[in-house]
Structure 1
Amino acid sequence: MNDMKIQSIGFLIFDGFPMACLTSMIEPLRASNEISGQVAFSWTLYAETMDKVRSSAGVSFEPDMALGQAEKPDHLFLLSPPMAQFSNPKAGYGALRTLGRHGTILGGVSGGVFPLVRSGVMAGQVVSVHWCYEAAFRSEFPEVEASDQVIEVSQRRYTASGAAAAFDLSLRLIETRLGADVATEVACWFQHPLMRGEGVRQSIPTYRQSSTDATLPPVVAKAVAVFAANLTEPISVADVADEVGVSARQIERSFKKATGQSPSHYYRSMRMKAARQLVMYSKDSMAQIALQVGYGSTTPMVQHYKDAFGLSPQEDRRRINLYRVQDNSPVPSV
């Protein structure tokens, strides 16, 4: 097994990329080399140019190679915030398409799925999208199937929703290359839970509760799923109760007990969360955002946004754009 070909892994980083996603992929690969006693994996940092790239944590990285010089790595993963762009889109996206055509397995982690999809290489593919980017992703790419799974893997494309999912994706590469025993030992080195594969949903925090959606009672969880499917076209609590198969009164009681909120207020919180994603990670106008979260005009949406976040969506976007101008990455970066 010592004479096996080294598997080359490339990471294409953009300013503001989530540093945790990079380390979550590289460290398991490094450990697998040590555990197996061979160099099974190598890795290279790529960027559009050879200039330093600043991560979301403010730590700068020097790329090993410019994207245009890439020598067909076996895998290339994009790491970026959602709004990342190439300074020369034609050349950057063209380089990605060329690598894909010539056998490189392409992937994206966290916000890196945005430039990956913009390049045109994800046609007909399912994309794992972090829940905090979902509304912005669906707005920009309505024709692409967004998934709430932790990772999505096809023959030539891999996507992962965040840093912990990136660790899982590295474990998958290790298991495929070196076997389950090495992958399990790597996971144990880092006290990481057993590898999560396809079919595992992301955990999503509930509103104003120190819990996740996985801990919600079945009636509430079903109602939340109905609400989530009706952000653009508002649905009444009575209609949700009918769809879930319980009374409106039972829905009210169940929500109060599980979340401390009425179902209508919880639903509004969901719509405001989606609105904020669009404010932060899209270029949509306020009128467009209002329509996408179920408001016929901007006025009530702006008021509810202020109630939820303490400032108007216009002020929030100016604040985020100020961060970007100052070379900082908007929160969250996952």
Structure 2
Amino acid sequence: MQRIGFVVFPGFQVMSLAAASVFEFANITLEKTAYRISHVSEQGGMIASSLGMAMQTEPFARKRFDTLLVCGGTGVPETTPGLVEFVRRSARHTRRVAAICTGAFILGEAGLLDGRRATTHWMLARELQQRLPKVKVEDDRIFIIDGDIWTSAGMSAGIDLALAMVEKDHGADVAHRVAQQLVVYHRRAGGQSQFSALLELEPKSDRIQSALSYARSHLQSELSVEELAAVANLSPRQFSRSFRAETGQSPAKAIEHLRVEAARLMMEQSRHPVEVVARETGFADRERMRRAFVRAFGQPPQAIRRLASAVA
């Protein structure tokens, strides 16, 4: 049995604890207590979250864990010497230490990220890098494993991180069944981007939203302006004008972003040849897809795949 400790502090974000459900359902799947969960804080007792909800915790004392997960907050967490020292001390005898979202700031203050690669929520990645110049902060990763230190992006990425832990402990089949029970996508690759092309576009009208949803479901099609305009029930000229006004991009550029996002996901999570990925995501050939990847990410598809394999 492995002891899992979730470190909370006043103002922690409750969604950090969603990762605990992964270990709970791993126990259910395995039909045994493979993981025992504890919630700990510096003084113990009731600890209020950023939402105002409070939870009962145990004091740090001299507790030892197989895995220590430091929760995040809605911003940079306020630390205490006791909290930082507990995390630092725990790392000496804990198999793996992890941070969910902005919990990375606590790991960094404890000196655990020096000389390592790490990630956090993209909105605070720059601040993390400024505070911790010895750390290589990567703001476009779902989670990163660097030796025995694990860090994840925004709160929901903690679920992906926990699923990856279960996969390493008990195999891919168990992690897959846990993901199915939680009704989540089976573990996003660690190297997957935090960003979403559809989220970045944020169209305001239902017509443009419908056209984008159609495009994402039909990436193998040509997706001409005429085709998308018909979905939106607009003339091609009206559609192009409305699309740019709502998204700040031309339809062609937006479609390329959707294709690149889908292709990157396939490169990270499958072993399909580049030619197959290019065909499935609507690029005419691998060279066109390569040029799109270089424009979007500064590196070709094969480099994205190697990086995903290295951090997953």
Tell me whether the two structures share a fold, i.e. TM-score over 0.5. yes
Q: Which residue of 2 aligns with 1:53?
A: 47
CA 1:207–1:135 in 2, change beyond 3 Å: closer, same or farther? farther
1:177 to 169, 176, 190: 169
Q: Which residue of 2 aligns with 1:144?
A: 135
1:86 to 54, 79, 90: 79
Judge conservation of contact 1:48–1:86 (CA < 8 Å) in 2.
no
Judge conservation of contact 1:78–1:107 (CA < 8 Å) in 2.
yes
> Per the alignment, in what secondary structure is the counterpart of residue 200 of structure 2?
coil
Q: Which residue of 2 aligns with 1:289?
A: none
Judge conservation of contact 2:5–2:39 (CA < 8 Å) in 1.
yes
CA distance in 2, matches of 1:149, 1:37: 33
CA distance in 1, matches of 2:201, 2:124: 17
CA 1:98–1:127 in 2, change beyond 3 Å: closer, same or farther? same
The alignment status of 1:123 with 2:114, answered yes or no, reads: yes
Judge conservation of contact 2:115–2:134 (CA < 8 Å) in 1.
no
- C-alpha offsets along residues 209-257 of structure 1, whole Å, 9 cap, x if unaligned? 478xxx9x9xxxxxxxxxxxxxxxxxxxxxxxxxxxxxxxxxxx99x83
The alignment status of 1:10 with 2:2, answered yes or no, reads: no
CA distance in 2, matches of 1:173, 1:208: 34
CA distance in 1, matches of 2:49, 2:99: 16
1:21 to 7, 16, 19: 16
CA 1:105–1:258 in 2, change beyond 3 Å: closer, same or farther? farther
Q: Which residue of 2 aligns with 1:322?
A: none
Shift in Å, 1:208: 5.2
Q: Which residue of 1 aligns with 2:185?
A: 193
Q: Which residue of 2 aligns with 1:40?
A: 34
Shift in Å, 1:207: 6.3
RMSD value, Cα? 2.8
Amino acid paired to 1:8 = R
> Per the alignment, in what secondary structure is the counterpart of residue 61 of structure 1?
strand
CA 1:258–1:177 in 2, change beyond 3 Å: closer, same or farther? farther
> Per the alignment, in what secondary structure is the counterpart of residue 139 of structure 1?
helix
Amino acid paired to 2:104 = V
Residue identity (%): 23
CA 1:119–1:177 in 2, change beyond 3 Å: closer, same or farther? same
Judge conservation of contact 1:9–1:42 (CA < 8 Å) in 2.
yes
> Per the alignment, in what secondary structure is the counterpart of residue 85 of structure 1?
coil
Q: Which residue of 1 aligns with 2:151?
A: 159
Amino acid paired to 2:33 = V
Unaligned runs of 5+ in 1: 1-5, 218-252, 264-334
Shift in Å, 1:149: 0.4
TM-score (norm. length: structure 1): 0.58
2:69 to 77, 94, 101: 77
- C-alpha offsets along residues 55-92 of structure 1, whole Å, 9 cap, x if unaligned? 122210111x222332x2011111132432333x1x33
| Count of residue pairs the alignment pairs up | 215
> Per the alignment, in what secondary structure is the counterpart of residue 77 of structure 1?
strand
TM-score (norm. length: structure 2): 0.62
Judge conservation of contact 1:15–1:80 (CA < 8 Å) in 2.
no
CA distance in 2, matches of 1:149, 1:76: 21
Unaligned runs of 5+ in 2: 216-239, 251-312
Q: Which residue of 1 aligns with 2:125?
A: 134
Q: Which residue of 2 aligns with 1:108?
A: 99
CA distance in 2, matches of 1:260, 1:173: 38
Amino acid paired to 1:185 = R
CA distance in 2, matches of 1:112, 1:43: 18
CA distance in 2, matches of 1:258, 1:129: 32
* Higher RCO, Cα 8 Å, sep 6+: 1
Q: How does 1:210-249 map to 2 (within 5 A)?
A: none
